[in-house]
Chain A
Amino acid sequence: MRVVVDFDLCESNALCMQAAPEVFEVRDDDFLYVLQENPPEELRSKVEEAVRRCPKQAIAIED
Chain B
Amino acid sequence: MRQVVVVGASLAGFRAVEELRHQGYDGSITVIGAEAHLPYDRPPLSKQILAGTWEADRLPLTAIGKDIADLDVEWRLGVAASGLDLGARQVSLGDGARVPYDGLVIATGAGVRTLPGQPQLTGLHTLRTLDDCLALRRDLDAGPQRVVVVGAGFIGAEVAATARQRGIDVTLLEALATPLQRALGGEIGVVCGDIHREHGVDLRLSTGVAGFDDDGRGRLTAIRLTDGSTVAADVAVVGVGVAPNTGWLAGSGLVLDNGVVCDATCLAAPGVVAAGDIARWPNNLFGELMRVEHWENAQEQGAHAARRLLGQVVPYEPVPWFWSDQYDRKIQLAGRSSADDDVQIVDGSIEERRFVALYGRAGRVVGVLGMNRPRPVMEYRQLIAAGTSWADALAR
Partners in one complex: yes
What is the CB-to-nearest-CB distance from A54 to chain B, in angstroms, rounded to a whole number?
10
By a CB distance below 8 angstroms, the chain A residues around B145 are none
Q: Judge whether B64 and A51 touch: CB under 8 Å.
A: yes
B316 CB to nearest chain A CB (Å): 16
Q: Is A58 an interface residue (CB 8 A)?
A: no
A sample of 30 inter-chain contacts (CB < 8 A) reads A11-B325, A11-B330, A12-B330, A12-B374, A13-B323, A13-B332, A14-B377, A15-B321, A17-B378, A18-B378, A18-B381, A26-B375, A26-B378, A28-B375, A30-B372, A30-B374, A30-B375, A48-B64, A51-B64, A52-B15, A52-B64, A52-B299, A53-B296, A53-B299, A55-B43, A55-B323, A57-B41, A57-B62, A61-B64, A61-B65
Nearest CB to that of B44 among chain A residues?
A56
Within B315-329, which residues are at the interface with A (CB < 8 Å)? 321, 323, 325
Cβ contact of A30, chosen from B15, B41, B321, B373, cutoff 8 A: B373
Contact B378 A55 (CB under 8 A): no
Q: Judge whether B25 is part of the interface by a CB distance below 8 angstroms.
A: no
B374 x A14 contact (CB < 8 A): yes
**Distance to closest chain B CB from A18 (angstroms):** 5
Q: How far is the CA of A53 from the CA of B302 in the complex (A)?
A: 13
CB-contacts of A34-52 with B (<8 A):
48, 51-52
A2 an interface residue at 8 Å Cβ cutoff?
no
Q: Which of B64, B374, B381 contacts A26 (CB 8 A)?
A: B374
When chains A and B are docked, how far (Å) is the Cα of A14 from the Cα of B199? Answer: 27
Distance A30 CA – B372 CA, assembled complex (angstroms): 8
Complex Cα spacing A12 to B373, Å: 9
Residues of A in contact with B, size category: 10 to 19
Alpha-carbon distance A14/B64, docked complex (angstroms): 19
Interface residue? B295 (CB, 8 A): yes
Residues 348-373 of chain B: 1 if any A CB is under 8 Å from the residue's CB, otherwise 0? 00000000000000000000000011
Complex contact A14–B65 (CB within 8 A): no
Docked CA distance A13–B373 (Å): 9
Contact check, B375 vs A27: say whether CB atoms are below 8 A apart: yes
Complex CA–CA separation, A51 to B43 (angstroms): 17
**B: which residues have CB within 8 A of A?**
15, 41, 43, 62, 64-65, 295-296, 299, 321, 323, 325, 330, 332, 372-375, 377-378, 381-382
Please report the C-alpha to C-alpha distance between residue A30 and residue B378 in the assembled complex, in whole angstroms: 12
Q: Are B372 and A55 in contact (CB under 8 A)?
A: no
Given A55-B43, A55-B296, A55-B323, A18:B382 Cβ within 8 A: yes
In the assembled complex, which residues on chain B have CB atoms less than 8 Å from the CB atom of A57? 41, 62
Shortest Cβ distance from B377 into A: residue: A14
Instruction: List which A1-38 residues lie within 8 A (CB) of chain B.
Output: 11-15, 17-18, 26-28, 30
In the bound complex, CA of A14 to CA of B379 (Å): 10
Nearest-CB residue, chain B, relative to A12: B374
Question: In the bound complex, how far is the Cα of B64 from the Cα of A45, in angstroms?
Answer: 11
Residues of B within 8 A of A18 (CB): 378, 381-382
Residue of A nearest to B62 (CB): A57
Nearest residue, chain B, Cβ from A63: B65
Cβ-defined contact, A13 with B374, below 8 A: yes
A24 to chain B, nearest CB (A): 11
Chain A residue at minimum C-beta to C-beta distance from B347: A28
Instruction: Please report the C-alpha to C-alpha distance between residue A15 and residue B321 in the assembled complex, in whole angstroms.
Output: 10
Closest CB pairs A-B (n = 8): A14-B374, A14-B378, A26-B375, A12-B374, A48-B64, A18-B378, A51-B64, A26-B374
| Contact status B295-A55, CB under 8 Å | yes
In the complex the two chains form, what is the Cα distance from A18 to B62 in whole Å? 21
Cβ of B38 to closest chain A Cβ, rounded Å: 15
Q: What is the minimal beta-carbon distance from B276 to any residue of chain A, in angstroms?
A: 15
B388–chain A nearest beta-carbon distance, Å: 16
A28 to B375 Cα, complex, angstroms:
7
B382–A15 contact, CB under 8 A? Answer: no
A26 to B332 alpha-carbon distance, docked (Å):
14
Chain A residues, CB < 8 A from B41: 57
Q: Considering the complex, give the chain A residue whose CB is closest to the CB of B300.
A: A53
- The CB with the most chain A CB atoms within 10 A, among B332, B374, B377, is that of B374
Q: Which residues of B contact A52 (CB under 8 A)?
A: 15, 64, 299
